[in-house]
Structure 1
């Protein structure tokens, strides 16, 4: 089998270019390079060690002649043979070392999310949350973008619901996430038509189905998604 040729050219630059197309939390510069290599339209990458974060670009970066080496910010232009796109497209759903596939978790690199869909048994909200915590997931899934909503709602069969993270604050009535004992107001919701509709009927938790998010009684029995935060 022929080898796929990839060249990473280090570029010296003073500040991080702001026209990146994606920012991903990664563990090393190698992980950053792999993220770029897997995307056919990634021509440059930057790795910021203090964060650590990976920034992907669709065009090569021009070197700054006055710049000096900065090991906290490594930026590379990527050169690859045309055969590389096909090779790395097959490894799109790569494993993440933090995402425990042995416990049934799956890693989606496009969203940098490690999740598990519990679809064999329906449970109440409290039991769902405890399961996620006890099996090593950080919590119920946080659906905080259109991209995540579009992906996960398609996994739920029509006529079924799955619990996700978020509940109605019993004092303010706002929809919140809980970080330790602190309530953080949710900045994203994508409710299904007519939702939420149960403020006075004790529907204080959130579930998702193929149509979007619904307020639901925390005592309903539903499937659920867990997410391990990375």
Structure 2
């Protein structure tokens, strides 16, 4: 038991590393998780790697396939649609609640984050600032049950791979969508805030679907 306790911090470290690789697309859906290869590549023993895979399985990010073992879960088209639909519901609700509960400092912070987001030097920086923007909005909603539901959804969203912000002009368009949301929050207009967020989610969904169609389009001679 003491040996297991000693390995737990390393297991969490490997878990976070694998989550980041899934988020950035370094480990794509369908990829096999071989304990020996991961242990060698990440510089850990097989015990923390095994623990990390178990945690990913608990998150629903890893499944066991016949004759393949542990693999990164592959979402089908319907699941992608359902994910974005649920995200629109949850984040739209967060926007509506934040219009009522957010304080002035939080609204200023949202505006500042969006300014930095619009001027981000690259997609990775933009993605991090976008994450902070949505996290701040969720915090401003002041609803712990909503936050818990959103955290669970965000784990599954990792299976979508690299951010849609990598698409041409998406950062500029997303920044404008953020600004419309901020204007509704400043006006304390809950209905407009929710509608703005839902429109923002639908725009991201359309970019994702176009990307999926490009991937699935058969190669032509």
In which range does the TM-score fall when normalised by the shorter chain?
Answer: under 0.3
Larger proportion of helix: 2
TM-score, normalised to structure 2, is: 0.25
Query: Larger Cα Rg: Structure 1 or Structure 2?
Result: 1
Instruction: Name the structure, 1 or 2, with higher relative contact order (CA <8 Å, separation 6+).
Output: 2
TM-score, normalised to structure 1, is: 0.25
